[in-house]
């Protein structure tokens, strides 16, 4: 599992570091990679952008869209044949709701147990956890409680780029409105093996991630984690 704090979709001449990272985790020379874009309603422009970004990668890139209907006759067979499933950003609440209508949530759980690399940015990072912070319901950030729960606790993306994320997440954890969890800045990813954090990796040398738990001064404790720069 690779949960990215957002902001990794910057133009680069080569494959974005975190997508390359997920590809390498498969251990395959030519892995199959599927993109899910339901967080922005299967916007075709997003898929075209992703295909363009991965044009120089070794991966065989495909996508599964659900609007207005699935583009694959058997979404389960299709997803379980992939080596990487990458989830884009947008509205995590809308995305997970659509997944549940189509049974994608259960398919992704099967994919996780089958050893398929699951990765995603922003909404695509929150969705693997129990809960997090989101602007899915409007401009004002709110807690989100309906994640897939493959990983326990909460996840907060955009910890450095959106001014309200950090104080809100701290307050929600301190108040017990959210369970403790992980907060990642843009371009920073938490890599889990099963349900254990294996490492934190960033696409920039100054990226940070934090474990935020209840207790301590102000009702929370924020611990900075070691981060490896992928470009080193």
Close Cβ partners of 77 (under 8 Å, ≥ 6 residues apart): none
Catalytic (active site) residue 152:
no
Taking residues 79-88, report their average pLDDT: 98
Please state the φ and ψ torsions of residue 172, each to the nearest 5 degrees.
-65, -40
H or E segment and range at residue 37: none
Would you kindly state where each structural domain of the chain is located, as residue ranges?
Answer: 2-229
pLDDT of residue 9: 46
On the question of pLDDT at 188 being above 70, the answer is yes
* pLDDT band (50, 70, 90) for residue 216: confident
Helices 92-102, 104-113: inter-axial angle, 10-degree rounding: 90
pLDDT of residue 73: 97
* pLDDT band (50, 70, 90) for residue 12: low
The 10 Å Cβ neighbour count of residue 67 is 13
Catalytic residue among 18, 63, 91, 122: 122
Taking residues 143-156, report their average pLDDT: 98
Alpha carbon dihedral 57, 8, 132, 199, in 10-degree steps, equals: 70
Query: How far apart, in whole angstroms, are the C-alpha atoms of residue 65 and residue 60?
Result: 17
Taking residues 155-174, report their average pLDDT: 97
Catalytic (active site) residue 158:
yes
| CATH number for the segment(s) 2-229 | 3.40.50.880
Give pTM, 2 decimals: 0.96
On the question of pLDDT at 94 being above 90, the answer is yes
Query: How far apart, in whole angstroms, are the C-alpha atoms of residue 26 and residue 165?
Result: 32
On the question of pLDDT at 11 being above 70, the answer is no
């Amino acid at each position: 599992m690779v949960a990215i704090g957002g902001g990794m979709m910057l133009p680069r001449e080569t494959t974005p570091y975190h997508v390359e990272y997920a590809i390498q985790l498969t251990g395959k020379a030519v892995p199959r990679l599927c993109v899910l874009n339901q967080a922005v309603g299967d916007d075709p422009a997003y898929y075209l952008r992703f295909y363009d970004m991965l044009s120089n990668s070794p991966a065989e890139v495909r996508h599964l869209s659900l609007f207005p209907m699935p583009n694959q006759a058997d979404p389960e067979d299709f997803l379980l044949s992939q080596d990487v499933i990458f989830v884009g950003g947008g509205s995590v609440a809308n995305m997970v709701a659509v997944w549940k209508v189509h049974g994608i949530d259960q398919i992704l759980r099967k994919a996780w147990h089958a050893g398929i690399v699951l990765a995603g940015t922003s909404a695509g990072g929150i969705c693997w956890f129990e809960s997090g912070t989101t602007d899915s319901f409007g401009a004002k950030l709110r807690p989100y409680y309906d994640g897939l729960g493959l990983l326990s606790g909460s996840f907060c993306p955009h910890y450095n780029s959106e001014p309200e994320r950090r104080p809100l997440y701290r307050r929600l954890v301190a108040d017990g409105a959210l369970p403790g969890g992980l907060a990642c800045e843009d371009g920073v990813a938490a890599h889990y093996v099963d349900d254990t954090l294996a490492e934190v990796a960033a696409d920039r040398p100054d990226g940070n991630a934090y474990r935020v738990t209840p207790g301590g001064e102000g009702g929370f404790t924020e611990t900075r984690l070691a981060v490896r720069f992928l470009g080193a």
